[in-house]
Structure 1
Amino acid sequence: MKLIDHVLNIRQLIARAFSNRFERLGLGVDAESEVPALSEDDKALRRRLKAIIDYHAKSKETYAEARKTAVNECTFTLFNRLAAIKVMEDKEFFPEIIQRRAEHGGRSYQHNSWLEQHPEGRSMEREGLLPFFEDSFAEIAENFQFPIFDSQYPYALMPRADELNEIIDAFNAVSADPDCGADIWRGDDILGWLYENFNAVEKAQLKESGEKTEYDKVSLQSQVYTPQWVVKFLVDNTVGKMYLEMHPESNFDRQIDENTGELKYRIANRPIEKTRNEKPLEKWRIIDPACGSGNFLIYTMTLLYDLYMDQSENYCADYSRRDIPALIVENNLYGVDLDERAVQISQIALRIKARELGGRRGKHPRHTNVVASNFYLPSYEEIRFAENWTDWDNKKKEVVAKVWDDLAEARKFGSLVRVEQPIRELAEAQSIAKEGLFAGEDESSLFNFRRNAVDAIREHFRRFVQTDAYSSTKINDALTFLDIISQPFDVAVANPPYTDSGDFGPELKKFIVDNYTKPYKVGVNLYSTFIRRCYELVSDNGKIGMVNPPTYMFIKTFEDTRKLILEKTTIDIFVHWGYLGMFSPSARVDSCMFVLDKSKSGSDSVFIKLDDMYELHRKAELDRVYPDVCEGRENARVYRLPQDKLRQIKTWPFIYWISDDFRKKFGGDTLEDVANPKVGMNSGGNEEFVRFHWEVNDKTRWKFYAKGGPYNKWYGNNWTVIDWGADGQKIKNASKSILRNQEFYFKEGITYSASGSKGVSFRNLEPGGLFDVGGSCIFYKEGEIENEVLLAILNTPLVTYISDCLNPTVNIQVGDMQRIPIAQNNHNGNLKVLSSQNVAVKKHLCEFSLIEPLFKHSPIQPGAMSPSECIASYYLYENGLLTQVLLNEAIINREVFDIYELTERDRKMVLDKEGVPVGDLPVSAIARDRYLEFLQLHKSEFPASNELIAHIEALPESDEQPRLEFERLYQKNYDWEEFCIQNKENPIEAWYQFTVAQTLPAQRTQELAFELITDVIRTLLEKDDDGVMPLVDRTGEGLVADRIQQEMIERGYTGVQFSQVCQLLGMPLDRYLRDRFFQQLSDHLNLFMYLPKTPFIWHLTSGPLHAMELFVSIYKWNRNTLSRVKSVYCANREASLTDRLATLAQSAEPSAQGEATDIRAQLRELAAFTDKLDALLASGYDPKLDDGVGKNIAPLQQAGILSYSVLKENGGRKSQLNKFLNADW
């Protein structure tokens, strides 16, 4: 079993035991009840647990939620107690308490010893297991001063002996499991891993709910455990670096690690002279403002211990080795988190680490400075401060009130609450104002005010303490929080939560807007908010070390975050990691880590670029590169530059790796100067207003709607239309619609797909359409650049490279488009010709695809050729034209390089990343000759330009004849271009080898046969009076399969060709139509992830016995048609089956009786089917074509009469099916 499986099993055992315990005390799941026979101890326990429930009820909606929280916290506390003991006994702090061994009679060593001292325990339940553990907890609390083991700890609770025995066995099973390892309890970070796994249940529930992230879910939504090596890197380069700035002659970082034989510490940009005033170590303050389970603090303790020892041994500092651990915990380390469970682990881990570092047995840390901010306080208005300081003016009283109310918000927003800010603003105002409010006040008076204000708040904390111990504990937490957060720090290190502002709940959103938008708007994501908070928490020459996603490096919405960093700090070192590979496999996040110095040093910033590597190789590469950074050696992955250079590109993206020559390109004209990149509209409800073009008939009401879609250059993705009847009044009146840039509606331009791993792709936008936010557009400016030329430039590797520089995420924004540099000498007639031809080719190929508005006919045509020969001929034709497009692109790329006047180094930089255009790769002589013949054959359609012929003739020649595997060709995301890229073959060579191979890739070939059959069925349904065609006999009409054959014969296909088409489908036609067709059609039309599948032919079924099977057309589907299905088709089928049943009744043959049994079952199924039709009619079901397939088909899917579920049903109330069932248009 994996560790997570063990943890969740243990959690379940404890939670079940404690829920039962609450129940026995009268604290039920949904309500309290009186239990008359409780002992005095149980009554006291009930009062204590009830106080905890009441406390949590202040911030929960119901008693049940508060009780659940109390049970969970008690569960976690026992889990932590036992886990801590496992860690400590494995580290040999004391003899084994939990680990059982055969030589001790199946007990632990300590349990055996306890029984010798308490022989009466042998007759108790489980040999006194419960009192043994209670005594063990008390001893640990006394000897190690761990509050969590104290019997009065608020969440201290014990299960019954049998339950505890099962829990102990489950703990011991962890190290006995080979998947976990015998040494699993020895790691410094094991408690943190346990914590992350413990929360897996809540994390899964939150993800499944799809709810916005409110303050109480932040720790779950974005909780990512920080690996030890990341922690070490950041702490070494902040805390360790700061020490060397005070003591550059120190050799503490030259120590050799006894375990690895390597240097124990490596610190980048090591100072060679003193740059910082000395400060006694015991006065250093290091904070993790989102500390979680304390990873950063635990490692910092190790480093600080070595620094204290260095001071003691080399600088005559008076530190005792045995006192140092307690000094560090009590003076140096600070942490805050919203999650009380995480804080509990941090506190335990720090005390364990103090003991492990050799702390004096009699001098354990008296306290830790790690606190959960989930304490509850009343509002200032509820308690009002007594006017103890009569010299306070109203302004100061307002400041104190604001501090109190901010503290009351700490349970929601943790260290983001800026309780020190009102006092700081008052001090700043005093330093500015020479007269008026602060006239006559000096700095000492403000200091006294600050001290008195904090004292006043402390006093009111104490007044607010309630009689129960739990509330008292939480007030102490509030005091600790106030002490921590109101003082400056030397270093802040953090792996903060990652939550995008679009996912904020209302309270969190309001708090961020109120507190983190001026002077820098950093509330785009919680992690960027924490960047600013860490900046505020450290002193003027402090350091910040953080790990978080790198989106702020480039995206325009994070511009203020970049400004804060570049204007207020110096980037010391920055590791650009990339997607995946830093955290656990389940944490699918982009990452970077960095160190900022709040003092402006003026030295070069160091960037390590790893994002372009395979994720599993990055750590090894960092280990190889980082010593070069520390020793000042050159490395291709290391970039050193003054950070001011990052300000030379508009909006200051962190594009650190480009040359100075390339950086200058951003100083000239940009796309915004020659064109108008514009964000599209938000319809306010795509389900209501957007359709696929095959869903509608009224072309005057429904207008083409550019909506992005998959990667596709030059032309295409023209599948959707939008309701623009009455000049779009319905959309304009929709409450959530946003109609941007209306002056550009219906104009010619360029649209693009901005999301996807392949990058951005640009397509011609013909006049007469509108555009979506997901299909934003670019409109050329008359006289500045021609549309075709701009399209050519945008579809080059150079622009792909630039756009990836500006925004390397999968969703490039219009703001990024605006910053793309455009060369001034862009009037190029050759680019216009090549671009126009590429558009024309892609447009022409749409005529052969069923899903396109331009569809004319299938490639499988009647005539002398067999269907297979037709398909083979079409593949050669299509691939030949696409090869021409790719060759044109290679020419365009070369000309664009020349227009931009790129140096050879910069050309290589672009092509190293984006790849050499496949149209530039070598070809064999025979492939070149055959392709030139192809171009000659089709010159009347798409004549090859002189540049294209010259390019082909100049291609390097290859003597190799590659063996290419064509079976994967045409599969998902593996089109002709991708096939050539993956095989590193010139498309001319791939085209020729395809002609030689004479293969028909199975998937695409079957799809072409399917599209032909679909087109035939659609035609038949158009011709049919009611648009209903049965797949079963005895309905009064011919079978669909027979009618398909007849239609194809009428189109000119022979009977042999019809049979061959059926063979390409992969199964007999009648079975294919019944079992496969509807699903394939639905999936084939699944073109946008967030829009429904919209088949224009539906397959209605009565069930697995096939009593009734029908195809219906959406274009003739209405209430009357539904009624005819019942009154005509079902009635005819029922009468025929009944007649057949009567005939069979006259036969005594066994086969006749078997058939009769089957027919009776079919009649029952048919009756159930008609009942469902009746129910639909009774419900008022009245489908209208313009309402869309989603709304019209949803009731049929709910009724269970579709052969395949078209709409997604997962997601409960938010499912796609439920959304369309409740559609109100």
Structure 2
Amino acid sequence: YDKVSIQSQVYTPRWVVKFLVDNSLGKLYLEMFPDSAVKEKYKIANAPQTQTRERKPITEIRLVDPATGSGNFLLYAFDLFYDLYTDQIDNYGADYDENNISELIIAHNLHGVDLDDRAVQLAQLGLTIKAKRKKRSAKIEQFNVVSSDFFLPEYEKVKDLFKDGKSLDNSLEKIVKESWTDLQQAFKFGSLIRLEEKFNLRLQSFVSKDDLAKHKQVGLFNEHRQVSLFAEKNFPQLEKFRENFFVKLKEVVALNTKKQGSTFLTAKTGDAITFLQLMTQKYDVAVANPPYTDSSDFGTDLKKFIEDNYKKPHKFHTNLYAAFIKRCYELIDEKGKMALIHPLTFMYIKSFEDVRKFILEKLHFNVFVHYSADSNNLFDGAFASAPSFYVLEKGKTTKEAWFISLDQYTRTPQEKFKKNYCLEALSDYIENSINKHNYTIEQSKLKIIEGWPFIYWISDGFREKFKGDTIKRFFNVCSGLKTANNIKYFRNLSEINQKYNEKYQPIFKGGPYNKWYGNIWLSIDYKGQRNNITKESSHSFSGENNYLNKGIVCQTIGTKGTSFRIKPSEVLFSNADFGIFYKNKYHDYNYALALLNSNIIRYINEMLNPTVNIEVGDLYKIPFIQSSKELEEIISNFSYQNIEIKKHLCSFRMIEINFNKTPITSYSDSNLKDRLLSYLNFENAQLTQVLINEAIINQLIFEVYELSPEDRLQVETKMGKPVGELPVLREAREAYLSESSIDNKTVNEFIQNLSDTTFDEQKIQTIKSDFAALYQNNNDLEEFCIRNQINPINIWYWFKESKILPQARAAEIALEFLADSFRTILMEDEDGIIPLASLPSKQNLIDRLERKCMEKNGFTSAQFMQLDGLLGRPLNEYIENHFFKNFSDHLNLFMYLPKTPFIWHLSSGEYHGFEAYIIIYKWNHDSLYKLKTMYLSKRAEALQYRQIQIAESSTAQSQNEKETIRLQLKEIEEYTQKIEELIAEGYNPKLDDGVGKNIAPLQNKGLLRNDVLNKKQLEKYLKADW
């Protein structure tokens, strides 16, 4: 609780404060005085034409901010109240002295509570300055803005004051004691203390169900008293007890204050009197920018308090702002209004479902601004939360709910205009003018979609589709295996020698956005380790009956949205994925996969949950419409083709499960650069085909869902038009159709019917100049096309024409070529240890690589030398100084799993006394002995022999060489000592233990060219007990 004020102090801009206060307090005033000129000065929406609220003196209109902070809302409300008083004096004959308006506002209208004493002092100072500006002699005797940071003694010290010389029934005294204890906690929980509400609930124990129903009928029960308080037989006693309790409570606090004497504690305890008064009266308007603390950050005391007070009967406990929604509701009267700003997560997320249902059942949206993040106009970019702000009203109404949609401009160049768009939408709504940002909807329609998300912008026709069949009817969706100790059980595919170790099964574990096929990078000895997994504290075998079934997977977290891939039957899936399986196993997954990867389903997914966390419940809500058999077959065929294309492209990458050979060995061009260009042209053509197929699938799925043109436009506006539908250069189309040999009539017709376009030469050159960055930092072909809004056929054509080879992609392909070559060379070696410097009994690695390239890959000497250009540096230098680090980084596939190089670079240090590559598949306990006796000793002998050779030479060059050899021999001596230490410590590497555990002792001794594990990983692996 002590961190809440620190974490949650966020300044609310005045324009937002004005928007909310005008449309809550201002509207309330116009409901009493609809002909007031106030509506000409302020922009107040939904102002009634006739009186709809019983009039009362302005001094009786109460506004409260239960999370006051430095008083932004109160300071603006002061100005509005001032105008309301003036309006009453000038136009309604109210008997107020204009010189006393400031004092009246502070004494009667403005109320606030905050945990932070300093913030409250600022709020009081601000109000004082406001009052003094209106009237220099204004006297503020007391504020109704108070800090809850006050002290109260233990109950035992004041209980006699409650009894007033009389005895209390034990049960009633318990209620008194618990209520006093609640008040004592105000310094921790502020206005969230529910004194009256909790008091009523405690008295409920005196009431039988029959009595409860009876007293509801006679009006002794209403929603503000929460429960009926009186059993029939005890009715007079309990009625009197309830009426007297809060009077007595205030007297006790006051008496306690008096007893304190003239001290600081007296002043602080005096705040309790004001706090008690504020928390036991009703208000016309509640306004707030409440704390946004998530339940995971509550801490023990706050967590218990929130769960005790805000979890039942409705769940308002998942975030502090949700608790404040409930509290504001309790603080306002039966026709009250509440205006808040806070994160918009409550609009969709499952954990806020009760909050939504409560709001839709008990309140009405006067206005809701779907704003989202804006670093220009809201929170100055200092707060990452994406906010919404709104005005809710109690009471029945037939008026439609009004929403302002601005979320679509987040993270776009138009974000800076969101404030203007919002205020224009308000003006247009008041003037009954059309504005594309304004939406109105019968509030009950928000209940149609399961979970009642605040999805206001879709048409009634689109909304009706959620009443039909959904994913839930046809599919089981489940999370996968949770090992609860991933570093112990998961292995990168390259960590195991799959040719000789069949016990490992591949497994999905999330990964980046990727449609159709792929992200199969890990494996697990599931059968062998299942029993051990059961012993982990928080393991789960969710979805186990589907682990070896064919299906569809998508990652549970998607920063770019959902992406669905085919799940082969032999590949398991983890809790980082959802598995989707037909309930009827005879259905074709290709159609389902096409539908799930379509823009309309991506749109629905983002609509149901626009966060990065994907939920099973949201997937289940997706409308699933079965098409005609003919159309289903067409869609299914396109889906199958996309799967096969992506699968084939995976065969060129070493990290993939179906890796075959690298692009360098797949093509026969005389120049290695041309080989890579040939491959990239092929890859671009294949990915272009996928994107064309996706565009066709999107059109067909629109037909299946029978969306109106308006709904289609809405989907395309949000998701973007598929790049495969964008206009195409005539010459690019002709070249693509000619070289791709497409035999599908539908695809041919689709491409032929694409709109023609032209580009000026400057635009073309700009695009070509960007090719150097293609394939870098998630900048794949699709992303490149989306960013530039250009059809992939055009990109394929220009890329082929430009013959620009992206250096980063070339280096990556060359790295995999080297790794694949080294793997072969090391596996052919007897012990899998090859030095970088030749020894009498062993040829060095670079010479072996050259021989392999010549003999097995058919390289010429010139082609071998071309590897330098692909790598961006000489091959010798790359192998000696860069390969191991780059290769380790290349295999860093998951943020929370270690790098897993299957080739290690052993190094004695900066003077290169001893350098060798080893392969983990042959690395074992004996390897250390071999290193010491066969490699280190022979390397030392070779250096010592060289020392003898140059001993008599006195040239500068020989002197430098002598010094280098001396340092190298010293390195070898120290390296040998470290090897001996490892042997003495019982180092016994086992392939099944994985790279992390096996390499940690070597890294800890400083035996590697580069570190592989970070500090935390190293510590964890050194302590591993498996």
One fold, TM greater than 0.5?
yes
The Cα offsets for residues 1083-1109 of structure 1, whole Å up to 9 and x where unpaired, read as: 212222222222222233333333333
Partners of 1:1119 and 1:892 in 2: how far apart? 56
| CA drift at 1:266 | 1.7
Partners of 1:1068 and 1:800 in 2: how far apart? 46
Q: Say whether the 8 Å CA contact 1:524–1:558 is kept in structure 2.
A: yes
Q: Say whether the 8 Å CA contact 1:1197–1:1205 is kept in structure 2.
A: yes
More displaced 10-residue stretch of structure 1: 834-843 or 1030-1039? 1030-1039
The number of aligned residues is 987
State which of 906, 912, 921 in structure 2 corresponds to 1:1115.
Answer: 921
Secondary structure of the 2:651 match is helix
Partners of 2:744 and 2:551 in 1: how far apart? 25
> In the alignment, does 2:584 pair up with 1:782?
yes
1:497-536 equivalence runs, <5 A: 497-536=291-330
Cα distance change of structure 1 residues 305 and 1144 upon mapping to structure 2, 3 Å threshold: farther
Q: Say whether the 8 Å CA contact 1:1035–1:1129 is kept in structure 2.
A: no
Secondary structure of the 1:420 match is helix
Q: Say whether the 8 Å CA contact 1:322–1:360 is kept in structure 2.
A: no
Q: Say whether the 8 Å CA contact 2:230–2:238 is kept in structure 1.
A: no
Partners of 1:691 and 1:224 in 2: how far apart? 45
Partners of 2:507 and 2:99 in 1: how far apart? 73
Match of 1:694 in 2: 494
Partners of 1:327 and 1:433 in 2: how far apart? 36
More displaced 10-residue stretch of structure 1: 1162-1171 or 862-871? 1162-1171
1:808-847 equivalence runs, <5 A: 808-825=610-627, 827=629, 828-847=632-651
Secondary structure of the 1:596 match is strand
| CA drift at 1:881 | 1.6
More displaced 10-residue stretch of structure 1: 1098-1107 or 492-501? 1098-1107
Match of 2:190 in 1: 414
Structure with greater contact order relative to length (CA < 8 Å, sep ≥ 6) = 2
| CA drift at 1:905 | 1.5
| CA drift at 1:954 | 2.8
> In the alignment, does 2:202 pair up with 1:402?
no
Q: What 5-or-longer segments of structure 2 have no aligned partner?
A: 208-214, 221-227
Cα distance change of structure 1 residues 1171 and 414 upon mapping to structure 2, 3 Å threshold: farther
Match of 1:946 in 2: 745
Partners of 2:940 and 2:271 in 1: how far apart? 76
1:487-506 equivalence runs, <5 A: 487-506=281-300
Q: Say whether the 8 Å CA contact 1:628–1:634 is kept in structure 2.
A: yes
Partners of 1:374 and 1:1021 in 2: how far apart? 71
Partners of 2:602 and 2:698 in 1: how far apart? 11
Match of 1:604 in 2: 400
Cα distance change of structure 1 residues 1158 and 604 upon mapping to structure 2, 3 Å threshold: same
State which of 781, 786, 811 in structure 2 corresponds to 1:1006.
Answer: 811
> In the alignment, does 2:109 pair up with 1:324?
no
Partners of 1:293 and 1:307 in 2: how far apart? 23
**What value does the CA root-mean-square deviation take over the aligned residues?**
2.8
| CA drift at 1:457 | 5.2
Partners of 2:1021 and 2:78 in 1: how far apart? 57
Partners of 2:194 and 2:750 in 1: how far apart? 65
> In the alignment, does 2:654 pair up with 1:850?
yes
The Cα offsets for residues 717-764 of structure 1, whole Å up to 9 and x where unpaired, read as: 111223413461222221111322322222111001353342211100
> In the alignment, does 2:483 pair up with 1:683?
yes
| CA drift at 1:867 | 1.4
The Cα offsets for residues 450-481 of structure 1, whole Å up to 9 and x where unpaired, read as: 32244345545766x5x894444443334433
Match of 1:616 in 2: 416
State which of 426, 434, 444 in structure 2 corresponds to 1:626.
Answer: 426
| CA drift at 1:437 | 5.8
Q: Say whether the 8 Å CA contact 1:541–1:598 is kept in structure 2.
A: yes
The Cα offsets for residues 810-863 of structure 1, whole Å up to 9 and x where unpaired, read as: 222111100001114364111111111111111111110011011010111274
Secondary structure of the 2:439 match is strand
Partners of 2:115 and 2:503 in 1: how far apart? 53
Partners of 1:248 and 1:1100 in 2: how far apart? 84
State which of 1139, 1142, 1147 in structure 1 corresponds to 2:953.
Answer: 1147
The Cα offsets for residues 1034-1077 of structure 1, whole Å up to 9 and x where unpaired, read as: 69643322222122223232222211123210001111122221
Secondary structure of the 1:845 match is helix
Secondary structure of the 2:662 match is coil
Q: Say whether the 8 Å CA contact 2:365–2:402 is kept in structure 1.
A: yes
> In the alignment, does 2:11 pair up with 1:225?
yes
State which of 945, 956, 980 in structure 1 corresponds to 2:785.
Answer: 980
Secondary structure of the 2:372 match is strand
Cα distance change of structure 1 residues 240 and 1016 upon mapping to structure 2, 3 Å threshold: same
State which of 896, 901, 908 in structure 1 corresponds to 2:706.
Answer: 901
Q: Say whether the 8 Å CA contact 1:685–1:736 is kept in structure 2.
A: no
| CA drift at 1:1200 | 4.1
Q: Say whether the 8 Å CA contact 1:785–1:826 is kept in structure 2.
A: no
Q: Amino acid of the residue matched to residue 396 of structure 1?
A: L
Match of 1:713 in 2: 515
Cα distance change of structure 1 residues 1150 and 552 upon mapping to structure 2, 3 Å threshold: same
Partners of 2:772 and 2:611 in 1: how far apart? 32
Partners of 1:1168 and 1:437 in 2: how far apart? 92
Normalised TM-score (structure 2) = 0.91
Partners of 1:1030 and 1:375 in 2: how far apart? 74
Match of 1:115 in 2: none
Match of 1:334 in 2: 111
| CA drift at 1:906 | 1.3
Q: Amino acid of the residue matched to residue 989 of structure 1?
A: N
Cα distance change of structure 1 residues 1044 and 641 upon mapping to structure 2, 3 Å threshold: same
Partners of 1:338 and 1:1126 in 2: how far apart? 67
1:646-657 equivalence runs, <5 A: 646-657=446-457
| CA drift at 1:888 | 1.5
Cα distance change of structure 1 residues 416 and 1124 upon mapping to structure 2, 3 Å threshold: farther
Partners of 1:1089 and 1:692 in 2: how far apart? 13
Match of 2:211 in 1: none
Cα distance change of structure 1 residues 333 and 1007 upon mapping to structure 2, 3 Å threshold: same
Match of 2:676 in 1: 871
Secondary structure of the 2:784 match is helix
Q: Say whether the 8 Å CA contact 1:1035–1:1130 is kept in structure 2.
A: no
Partners of 1:340 and 1:740 in 2: how far apart? 49
| CA drift at 1:897 | 0.9
Match of 1:277 in 2: 54
Cα distance change of structure 1 residues 657 and 1159 upon mapping to structure 2, 3 Å threshold: same
Secondary structure of the 1:579 match is coil
The Cα offsets for residues 527-556 of structure 1, whole Å up to 9 and x where unpaired, read as: 222211211222222111111111111122
Match of 2:338 in 1: 544
More displaced 10-residue stretch of structure 1: 443-452 or 583-592? 443-452
Q: Amino acid of the residue matched to residue 887 of structure 1?
A: I
Cα distance change of structure 1 residues 1109 and 529 upon mapping to structure 2, 3 Å threshold: farther
> In the alignment, does 2:383 pair up with 1:587?
yes
| CA drift at 1:565 | 0.8
Cα distance change of structure 1 residues 967 and 380 upon mapping to structure 2, 3 Å threshold: same
Partners of 1:784 and 1:1131 in 2: how far apart? 65
| CA drift at 1:803 | 0.9
Match of 2:144 in 1: 369
Partners of 2:381 and 2:669 in 1: how far apart? 56
Normalised TM-score (structure 1) = 0.76
Secondary structure of the 2:2 match is helix
> In the alignment, does 2:85 pair up with 1:289?
no
More displaced 10-residue stretch of structure 1: 924-933 or 431-440? 431-440
The Cα offsets for residues 1155-1207 of structure 1, whole Å up to 9 and x where unpaired, read as: 33333344444444445445555555444333333333344444444433433
Partners of 1:1222 and 1:485 in 2: how far apart? 54
Q: Say whether the 8 Å CA contact 2:668–2:675 is kept in structure 1.
A: no
Secondary structure of the 1:274 match is coil
Cα distance change of structure 1 residues 1013 and 534 upon mapping to structure 2, 3 Å threshold: same
Partners of 1:280 and 1:342 in 2: how far apart? 30
Partners of 2:48 and 2:638 in 1: how far apart? 57
Partners of 1:251 and 1:642 in 2: how far apart? 30
Secondary structure of the 1:216 match is coil
Q: Amino acid of the residue matched to residue 1082 of structure 1?
A: S
Partners of 2:599 and 2:646 in 1: how far apart? 19
Q: Amino acid of the residue matched to residue 693 of structure 2?
A: N
Match of 1:388 in 2: 164
Q: What 5-or-longer segments of structure 1 have no aligned partner?
A: 1-214, 256-264, 937-942, 1210-1214
The Cα offsets for residues 925-963 of structure 1, whole Å up to 9 and x where unpaired, read as: 332332223332xxxxxx743322232233333455872
